[in-house]
Structure 1
């Protein structure tokens, strides 16, 4: 198929084909893409430049590699491991107990926690950087949801920045409830740098911290360390961590709570 052929792919279709090809073969040369799609190498270079500007790929000398995100956006994560996250959220509400002032971070599991807490009916003041969490909690008149100030991050639905951190430091709460991008022997880490800074401050301002994370986060390390394992940290997860992670948690005085699903088993 020549570039002048009316049947040739439109730009968007061509770029989708490029992304699909890179997803199968993570590193392809410009000449390979040109041959496969029947267009000139200059056309491929323009496509790669546009996809790079859109942060879909990374350019290499003579080619490109598919850019794999460490974590999908919040809207995508809400569709993953739903039963496990619901079970973790319910157990977290039980462990919060009679605390009447706490902080809740952002993320998919934190949003499940907010939904579970909303239905619990107990009076509390909850401080959060996440709009979804604040909206869920505001539906319970017994809960006072305090939204932190800051710069809005649309993909994650939370605020961040110097104003957010400064406001967090003004408070002292009984419990901080946060999610995690990754968990390893060194502690809890977060893929989003600004969120990591927020969660670190939350841990510092709380008497104890509940980490809500499903098994897919085990044995991984993300961009920024939120905090190490210590005696005031409890990990709530859907299954037991592997031996190395479990030993690191126990040796540093942290606790592990395994949440079990309340859903009936499928026969």
Structure 2
């Protein structure tokens, strides 16, 4: 599989996005389960299909651009709000980047690593061995360390934050049972990880909201940064609700690029944490 990814990584970004748009629509048409979940999630957030139909193609682009981002030449990246990072780094504070399943979330960490330095990102290992190795190796690069959702991975994130470095994670990813709480997301309870709040509370790190907008016609990406609003609650349920509210704010800013087909409201898996 890696040679195939490396082959596609040589394709120009506009061509990958063109192919990805077709893949997104093919999946939407051929998979009733995916289509129903896409429409239900959008409706839960108050959107009709006409308002978010572009997100069908954008989901396909996300898959098609992955080989380029993992193995290809760097794509053009612009910044919106980079001064927020510079101000926090000047204070010597660690930064916890919160990025939902919105736009190109791969590019946000890569952009930070290329411009500002070390960042540690959390990922869930794939169940299949060949895919697990591919994902782990491709996401680790200069100034960027990918760590799994295990106790060892969390410890690495804590060490990075205490050293004044940055970490990144997707807080709208459904954690295993016992590692999250139920909190509202677009008006419906969703199982939500408590890790972002714990990282910030244990290290004094700043929370920063980020998402990577995919520009039309393969022209690259824009990394948008927004500040965290208000004080983070001590209660884990209240803190999780705050995190979800912040993610809602980002999603509404880029609803055409949100992964509406993601199973955000699924029941958490029961598994023993490492």
Q: Pick the TM interval, shorter chain.
A: 0.3 to 0.5
Please give the TM-score of this superposition, normalised by the length of structure 1: 0.33
Q: Which has the higher strand share?
A: 1
- The structure that is helix-richer by fraction is 2
TM-score, normalised by the number of residues in structure 2: 0.33
Q: Report which structure shows greater RCO (CA 8 Å, sep ≥6).
A: 2
Name the larger-Rg structure: 1
